[in-house]
Amino acid sequence: MGQVLVTGAAGFIGAHLCQALLARGEQVIGLDNLNPYYDPKLKEARLAALTGKARPGQFAFHRLDLSDQDSVLALMAAHPGLDRVVHLGAQAGVRWSLQAPFAYTAANVTGTLAILEGVRRAEGRIGHTVYASTSSVYGSRTDGAFRESDCADRPASLYAATKLAGELMAKSYTDLYRLNLTGLRFFTVYGPWGRPDMAYWLFTEAMLQGRPIRLFNEGRMRRDFTYVDDIVAGVVAALDNPPATPAHRLYNIGNSHPEELLDMVAMLEELLGVTAKRELLPMQPGDVPATFADVSAMQRDFGWRPTTDLRTGLGRFVAWWRGYFG
């Protein structure tokens, strides 16, 4: 068994994925820059949990910025046993892209290009690369389930535009160099060890502190909330099943069951035993009113389907939150 490079290894999804790969005996090379977009102490705690469970020599972590292409290329070349890549590292967050646009082109465009070039230079040694895209590429839609064949040329935010650029670069590299590349469009991932900029985290924190929660579009948003363990199972399934011939593939990976934001708030009120104070606000620039994943392609090709409903997943998040913050 070779080695797997996981970028964004200290991130929310990346840390969960590394844990799953280590649990089945894989050798994992983790890459992350631990940037301060949110508290790096949370990222360091995820890494500590990972390294505490790994066997000696099973997990190697490199603190590295994806936009430092020379260092990324050198790292990939220095591991002759590297045969698979999962590229999750990115600058996330729709709203932050309004304030720090160059951070998005550096991580999501230059960083993705560095990974693609590293795979190309491996000259066939890296047999499969799975990378993260986003449901945001579909733009502002309210007309039912999003399908991979739908037009995705009107992203509503710079974040979405940079992730769409990553998809286009991946397609180009496959056509030029006959690489095996699989892109996964994630739909609103949540769960333990999550991201502090996500609504479920912000709401939990505000409610427990007695502060009002901010509901954009007056809470009339629908999101295809997808539990992190379901996402990881889908990433692993995709990674284990490369295309039979060199190809670039795209898949939605979501819960396929959109929920009203206000329904999520009601679930958190029940789980926390707190009544939320609501601050109703207009739609935020860059946001989209609804997301809804058609995941029939993931089910057909990998036998994958989500198994965790929102209330169960939120219950696990709240239990983790109470344990982590005491």
Question: pLDDT of 169-178, one tens digit each?
Answer: 999 999 999 9
Q: What is the pLDDT of residues 61-102, one digit of tens each?
A: 999 999 999 999 999 999 999 999 999 999 998 888 989 999
Amino acid at 36: P
Quote the pLDDT of residue 179: 97
Q: What is the pLDDT of residues 210-264, one digit of tens each?
A: 999 988 776 778 899 999 999 999 999 999 999 999 999 999 999 999 999 999 9
Number of H helices, E strands in the chain: 11, 13
In the set 159, 190, 200, 251, the catalytic residue is 159
Angle, alpha carbons 169-252-188 (nearest 5°) = 100
DSSP 231: H
Taking the CA atoms of residue 306, residue 308, residue 311 and residue 312 in that order, the dihedral angle to the nearest 10 degrees is: -170
Known catalytic membership, residue 190:
no
Q: Is 275 helix (H, G, I), strand (E, B) or coil?
A: coil
pLDDT in tens, 106-140: 999 999 999 999 999 999 999 999 999 999 999 88
3-187+227-254: CATH topology is Rossmann fold (3.40.50)
State pTM to two decimals: 0.96
Report the run of H or E that residue 278 belongs to, with start and end.
strand 278-280
pLDDT digits (tens, 9 = 90+) for 182-207: 999 999 999 999 999 999 999 999 99
> Average model confidence (pLDDT) for the chain?
94
Tokens of 93: 């967050």
131 with 279: CB under 8 angstroms? no
- pLDDT for position 286: 63
Looking at residue 28, its amino acid is V
